[in-house]
Amino acid sequence: MVLGILFSFLASGCFNLSNLLEKRAVDGMAAISARRASHMVRMLGSSKLWVTGFVVGVVAVGFMVIGYSLAPIAVVQSIFGAGLVLLVLASRLFLNEPMGRREWLGLAVIVIAVVLVSVTLGSSTSPGLRGSMGQVILASVATTAFAAFMFVVLQRSSADPSVPFGVAAGLLYGVAALQTKSASVLLVHHGVLGGIPRILASPYPYVFIVTSVLGLFTFQTGLQRCRVAVVGPLTNIIASIYVVAVGMVVFSDPLPRSSALTVLRLFGFALVLVGSWAFAAGPATAAQLGTAGVTNLAHESGNDAGDGSEKSPEQTRTRFD
């Protein structure tokens, strides 16, 4: 259990460092879009800073697999979620991203939620090791389709451009995390030598690659056009909620033995939802959108300068392609 918590902390630190490095990199690039996949791959692959961030993210995934094999999903995701605090503070200090009262309120609620869940850590010490391949694949396919649907809906209805990117990327990364949990179950049952061949023979690594790539394209586009302090936590929160909600059912992950601690843990996750709503709800203000996408819009204006046309603030604000 202690090692599971340790690897969860390491995964959180690496993942948020990856977000910051990638944000730095994409801010200096020409406009990227998930609709131009080959162009995006060339741009990202040519940036040493972005590649460094990507490698750090891959290390984070490895730590998560180990963490899932040693501790319950809810515990791993709660520890992982604590890294949001560092991400938001770092984006404020090093990237000079603006933070409104709504974001600080959401951050405070998330911190309280992590504390509440942490109180229950000692009440369930074993990870869930059940679940069938059919259940995992069914949940993965359905969620991937749902992520595409939600992106379209939120792109049309949300005032803040961070929301569709954060929700869609979070669901896709959640599906990828479900595969890492499945891989960790095989490692526990069969050991490293026997587990690795079984993992490669299963659909898990290939579903992981597909959903990770889709999530990457979505997240990187959002990362360039929005504040990392919003799209990063929103992506992490949605992914964490998804893994906990689906993973606890699929893998029969144990809840605390005490009814009171069970309620406390579930209440903590409910507060995570409230905190994410605080990030996403309400109209986007000029201050919130100030640095989010300024670099991107400047690149787009430069690319479009040859057509002799200018875009109004309203036109540029709603351009999410």
Distance CA 164, CA 294 (A): 18
| In the predicted structure, residue 291 carries a pLDDT above the cut 50 | no
Question: pLDDT tens-digit profile of 188-202?
Answer: 777 777 888 888 899
pLDDT at residue number 288: 43
Please say if the pLDDT value at position 141 is more than 90.
yes
Answer with the residue of higher pLDDT: 124 or 305: 124
Return the H-helix or E-strand segment holding 237. helix 228-250
Q: Does the residue 316 lie in any domain? A: no
Residue at 233 is within a domain: yes
- For residue 295, tell me if it sits in a domain: no
Specify if 204 maps to a domain. Answer: yes
Identify whether 296 is part of a domain. no
Q: State the alpha helices, DSSP H only, in 71-161.
A: 73-81, 83-94, 101-119, 133-157
Higher pLDDT, 13 or 81: 13
| Burial group, residue 148, by CB count within 10 angstroms (0-12, 13-18, 19+) | middle
Buried b (16+ CB within 10 A) or exposed e, 212-238: bebbbbbbbbbbbbbbbbbbbbbbbbb
Look at residues 265, 319, 266 and name the one whose alpha carbon lies nearest to residue 293. 319
Q: pLDDT, tens digit, for every residue of 247-264?
A: 777 877 666 677 787 787
> For the chain, how many helices (H) and strands (E)?
14, 0
The three-class DSSP label of residue 292 is coil
* Residue-level pLDDT at 169: 92
What pLDDT sits at residue 171? Answer: 92
pLDDT tens track for 80-123: 766 666 666 676 666 676 667 777 787 778 778 767 766 766 55
Q: Tell me, yes or no, whether 291 lies in a domain.
A: no
Predicted confidence (pLDDT) per residue in 55-81, tens digit:
998 898 888 878 877 777 767 776 776
- Residue burial 11-26, b: 16+ Cβ < 10 Å; e: rest: bbbbbbbbbbbbbbbb
Q: Which domain holds residue 219?
A: 2-285
Asked if 74 and 265 touch (Cβ cutoff 8 Å), the reply is yes
What six digits make up the tokens of 106?
Answer: 């959401």
Q: Give tens-digit pLDDT for 146-162.
A: 999 989 988 888 777 78
Q: How many domains does the chain have?
A: 1
Share of the chain above pLDDT 90, in %: 12
Q: Model-level pTM?
A: 0.67
State mean pLDDT over 216-242. Answer: 80
The vertex-168 CA angle with 288 and 208, nearest 5°, equals 135
How confident is the model at residue 49, as a pLDDT? 92
pLDDT tens string 165-196: 988 999 999 999 888 888 888 887 777 778 88
Output the pLDDT for position 72. 74
Q: Give a yes or no: residue 277 inside a domain.
A: yes
